[in-house]
Amino acid sequence: MKRKMPVLVIIAITVLSLYVKLSTTAYASQPAAEPPVQAAASANSATIDIVLNDAGDLSIGGVNLSALGVGKLDSQVTTVAKNLGSVHLMTGASEVSVDVQGTQIAKIDWSADSRQNAAMLATRYGVQLQPGVQSRIEEWLSSTTLDVTARFANEASKPLNISLSKYLTLDIQPNGQLVIENIPLAAAIDQTALQTMELGGKSATVCWNKGVLTAQVDGQPLPTITLNPDGVSMITNALNLDPSVAGAAPAILGSKLGVDLSLPGGTHAAGATCGG
């Protein structure tokens, strides 16, 4: 194995670290809605808590956005949010439901066929996705449960709860452009960085599964890193970290998220799952 192989997983690990960033600070008196009972557990799930408080500060998944430079929301928006109290959105493979203050407002029953028909209808009005993007969206919709609560409160929003067995795909084009889930981003890496990464290989997977970090480069496994929850707790206490950071540790250790990275000439790991 080449000594520079680990270079290839840096971007993938960086993407994983974005989730860690989303679980480190807090904010937001409406309780988060309890998710409805599912007939069967989805392969992928995400629970997101969004909170707006009296001061107009917004908090998402435990992160106070004002700490990231996001300004306060307009007082009119705050008033509307206060009147609504809480809004809960639940999406699954067969239905989407929306309720306000615990009362269901609407429900959409859908299937893969009906979603495809809706997409075809949209093309007649000039709304068309690339086949690769549409296919990837359907893969996620058919295997994912998304639970989002937006509420007005003066308490901390709850940390993100992420469990994704399906890898997020990340491609780097020959010109350095980044593409996530077949969607081109207005971002790129320079050629020097790309050439350095290519020394390690053409593809890599990184999986964070409840405190265990595994990675492969060109199908070859790298050493596995496992974090002991008790050890993490000891370190956070010893370093006297901010309570919001220390409190996020259990959510981070209990999460599952993976990235499948492909460089020019590389391919994604067909059928591979994070933690599977």
If one counts the domains in the chain, the total is 2
Q: Average model confidence (pLDDT) for the chain? A: 84
Residue 125 maps to a domain: no
Structure tokens at 270: 């067909």
- pLDDT tens-digit series, residues 116-143: 999 999 999 998 888 888 999 999 999 9
CB atoms within 10 A of CB 204: 31
Structure tokens at 258: 């993976």
| Cα(16)–Cα(3) distance, integer angstroms | 23
Spatial contact of 206 and 164, defined as CB atoms under 8 Å apart? no
Q: Between these two residues, 62 and 211, which has the higher pLDDT value?
A: 211
- Give this prediction's pTM: 0.75
Range of the domain at 102: 25-109+144-158
Structure tokens at 144: 């994912």
Within 8 A by CB and 6+ apart from 250, the residues are: 229
pLDDT recorded at residue 275: 87
| Cα(58)–Cα(78) distance, integer angstroms | 10
User: Any bridge partners for residue 226, and if so which?
Assistant: 212
Residues 243, 49, 273, 91, Cα dihedral to 10°: 170
Residue 272 maps to a domain: no
- pLDDT tens-digit series, residues 178-225: 999 999 999 999 999 999 999 999 999 999 999 999 999 999 999 999
Spatial contact of 104 and 115, defined as CB atoms under 8 Å apart? no
207 and 256, same domain (yes or no): yes
| Cα(177)–Cα(179) distance, integer angstroms | 7
Taking each continuous run of H as one helix and of E as one strand, the counts in the chain are 7, 16
pLDDT recorded at residue 271: 85
Task: Average the pLDDT over 66-94 and give the result.
Answer: 91
Residue 133 maps to a domain: no
Residue 128 maps to a domain: no
